[in-house]
Amino acid sequence: MTKHDPSGGDRQPLRSIQDVADELGITSRAIRFYEDKGLLEPQRVGTMRVYSKREVGRLQLILRGKRLGFSLREIKEFLDLYTVDELHLEQTKRLLAQTSERIDALELQRHALEQTLDELKDIVRQCRERIAEAG
């Protein structure tokens, strides 16, 4: 369901929660969750939530942030900076810092995972050798 802005004029179309959920491959429940956390502020037409292009864009940023491993708090800070900084310089600086921290954390995880895999492979090798020796 696509509607036009009830305030009139040539504005962006407004979309239902189900339209947005279908487009982004998530549930309407997930969208309501992000709204409850203060990350989205859809407009209302009666009792129905409607989403502008801006809100859909915010939701895409939320989903990307989650996919990249950022917490909801970090995502909220990032979105809040976007609203107050027209040049988005503070947002860009914060994104750089958060992204760098996330890369460092993932590199550490990768190292730990590689160590664990090496140990598990060694155990598998030892087990196979014992089985082969026992015949």
> DSSP string spanning the chain?
-EEE-TT-SS-PEEEEHHHHHHHHT--HHHHHHHHHTTS---EEETTEEEE-HHHHHHHHHHHHHHHTT--HHHHHHHHHHHHH-TT-HHHHHHHHHHHHHHHHHHHHHHHHHHHHHHHHHHHHHHHHHHHHHH-
Tokens read off for 123:
């155990």
pLDDT of residue 11: 59
pLDDT of residue 13: 84
pLDDT of residue 7: 46
pLDDT of residue 1: 53
pLDDT of residue 127: 97
Q: What is the full per-residue pLDDT of the chain (135 aa) written as tens digits?
A: 544 444 444 456 899 999 999 999 999 999 999 999 999 999 998 888 899 999 999 999 999 999 999 999 999 988 887 776 677 788 888 889 989 999 999 999 999 999 999 999 999 999 999 999 998
